[in-house]
């Protein structure tokens, strides 16, 4: 994801020659673009790939905070790799030898989620035929990863806040303290944290407890320079999974690179992964891939028309007055456009202004308006 997950494959372990995308992916993973770690529980070797400034900033911050017990709040669109960053932080922490327990707050109804997280006493509800420890107790000494945090019901947010304040867990149906836990919290959400607080989806006091260190993962459309490296890795991985040993891997033509760099990627790296897996299954061995070789699904807008604007338009704007909704959408467009523009220009403001067809004064004004810093994009590859 923002980020790329790469489980070590047969080709990566063999001594045979590598060609095409296989060689490119192996080179990227072994160089400065890759950061590799091992999942303590599955044994998978995972590589996070990316050289874009926004991604490197997120990864560097993850590495810095890993050695502490500070609570981390990871935000980013679906498919950007939030859970992988949580795994990265845990694997580099002093708690790496203990459990990383993941809770998807959107996957369970309130009563079941409460029982799973906090545990329950025998007889607490129908079907509770024995005492059961919750995931907070299971994670004692380790890390608890709360995914889709804003989907946690408000009563459970209040109960979680008490655990954060005093480290005490009270099981469902209990009248007393049942356990004292030492847990490191990493949370994730696919919306802007401040917006979630303003909309009443996240308690403000809980937000500040869990957001000691915020990490924002950029969407793939703001990581243009990473797309080719990620695509090469995925092709390497899925070619090894689906094809016969010895079949020469395809390569990416300039046309293929141009196609991949201009996609809107609303599904982010997960969407790229799916597209490249499809290509690995159907492509001819040794073929120089063209843009036309990649699948474009009819049910997903391709960005060539107003469908893209409709797909990226936040549903919450529809409840606002016309001028308010319009201002929000324009601001969203400006910020995303500027981020992609300056990244493509490698932080060179003169070049960015030329690419956009505006003067530098206007560009600087827009950057200041959206609190964007050009030094975050210096060194990017166009």
Domain 96-217 has CATH 3.40.50.300: yes
**Where does the pLDDT of residue 39 fall: very low under 50, low under 70, confident under 90, or very high at 90 and above?**
low
Higher pLDDT among residues 19 and 180, named by residue: 180
CATH number of 319-376, picked from 3.30.1490, 1.10.8, 1.10.3470, 1.10.10: 1.10.10
pLDDT at 6 over 60: no
Percent of the chain clearing pLDDT 90 (strictly above): 55
Higher pLDDT among residues 7 and 362, named by residue: 362
Which contacts of 258-263 are long-range, i.e. CB under 8 A and separated by 24 or more positions? 258/291, 259/290, 259/291, 259/294, 260/227, 260/228, 260/231, 260/291, 260/294, 261/224, 261/227, 261/228, 262/303, 263/221, 263/302, 263/303
* Helix (H/G/I), strand (E/B), else coil: 336: helix
The whole-angstrom separation of Cα 116 and Cα 331 is 40
Residue-level length of the chain: 382
User: Any idea which architecture 221-293 has in CATH?
Assistant: Orthogonal Bundle (1.10)
Q: Read off the pLDDT of residues 215-254 as tens digits, 9 standing for 90 and up.
A: 999 999 999 999 999 999 999 999 999 999 999 999 999 9
Higher pLDDT among residues 255 and 176, named by residue: 255
Higher pLDDT among residues 142 and 359, named by residue: 142
Task: Report the pLDDT value the prediction gives residue 42, as an integer from 0 to 100.
Answer: 63
pLDDT at 144 over 70: yes
Task: Report the pLDDT value the prediction gives residue 370, as an integer from 0 to 100.
Answer: 86
Higher pLDDT among residues 64 and 374, named by residue: 64
Is the whole-model pTM more than 0.85? Answer: no
Is 247 in contact with 285 (CB distance < 8 Å)? yes
Residue-averaged pLDDT of the chain: 83
Nearest in space to 78 (alpha carbons), one of 184, 133, 7, 3: 3
Q: Read off the pLDDT of residues 62-110 as tens digits, 9 standing for 90 and up.
A: 999 999 999 999 999 999 999 999 999 999 999 999 999 999 999 989 9
Give the Å distances, CA to CA, from 76 to 67, 190, 277.
22, 5, 23
Which of 33-42, 103-112, 173-182 comes out lowest in average pLDDT?
33-42
**Where does the pLDDT of residue 123 fall: very low under 50, low under 70, confident under 90, or very high at 90 and above?**
confident
Q: What residue segments make up the domains of the chain, in order of their start?
A: 96-217, 221-293, 319-376
Q: Read off the pLDDT of residues 277-334 as tens digits, 9 standing for 90 and up.
A: 999 999 999 999 999 999 976 554 444 334 344 444 444 566 677 777 777 788 888 8
């Amino acid at each position: 994801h923002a980020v790329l997950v790469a489980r070590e494959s047969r080709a990566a372990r063999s001594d045979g020659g590598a060609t095409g995308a296989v060689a490119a992916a192996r080179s990227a993973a072994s160089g400065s673009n890759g950061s590799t770690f091992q999942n303590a529980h599955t044994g998978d070797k995972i590589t996070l790939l990316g050289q874009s400034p926004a991604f490197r900033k997120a990864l560097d911050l993850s590495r810095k905070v890993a050695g502490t017990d500070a609570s981390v709040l990871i935000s980013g669109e679906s498919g950007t790799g939030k859970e992988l960053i949580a795994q990265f932080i845990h694997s580099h922490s002093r708690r790496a030898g203990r459990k990383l327990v993941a809770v998807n707050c959107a996957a369970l109804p309130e009563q079941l989620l409460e029982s799973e997280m906090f545990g329950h006493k025998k007889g607490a509800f129908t079907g509770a035929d024995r005492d059961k420890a919750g995931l907070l107790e299971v994670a004692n000494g380790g890390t608890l990863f709360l995914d889709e945090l804003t989907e946690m019901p408000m009563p459970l947010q209040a109960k979680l806040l008490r655990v954060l304040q005093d480290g005490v867990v009270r099981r469902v149906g209990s009248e007393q303290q049942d356990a004292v836990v030492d847990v490191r919290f990493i949370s994730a959400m696919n919306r802007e944290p401040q917006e979630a607080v303003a909309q009443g989806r996240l308690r403000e006091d809980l937000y500040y407890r869990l957001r000691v260190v915020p990490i924002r993962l950029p969407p793939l459309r703001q990581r243009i320079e990473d797309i080719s490296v990620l695509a090469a890795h995925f092709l390497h991985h899925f070619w090894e999974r689906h094809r016969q040993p010895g079949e020469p891997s395809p390569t990416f033509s300039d046309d293929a690179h141009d196609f991949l760099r201009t996609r809107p990627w609303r599904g982010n790296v997960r969407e790229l992964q799916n597209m490249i897996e499809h290509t690995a299954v159907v492509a001819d061995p040794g073929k120089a891939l063209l843009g036309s070789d990649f699948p474009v699904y009819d049910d997903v807008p391709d960005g060539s028309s107003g469908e893209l604007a409709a797909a990226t338009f936040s549903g919450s704007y529809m409840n606002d007055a016309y001028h308010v909704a319009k201002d929000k959408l324009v601001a969203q467009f400006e910020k995303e456009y500027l981020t992609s523009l300056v990244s493509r220009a490698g932080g060179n403001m003169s070049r960015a202004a030329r690419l956009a067809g505006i003067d530098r004064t206007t560009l600087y004004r827009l950057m200041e308006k959206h609190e964007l810093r050009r030094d975050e994009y210096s060194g990017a590859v166009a």
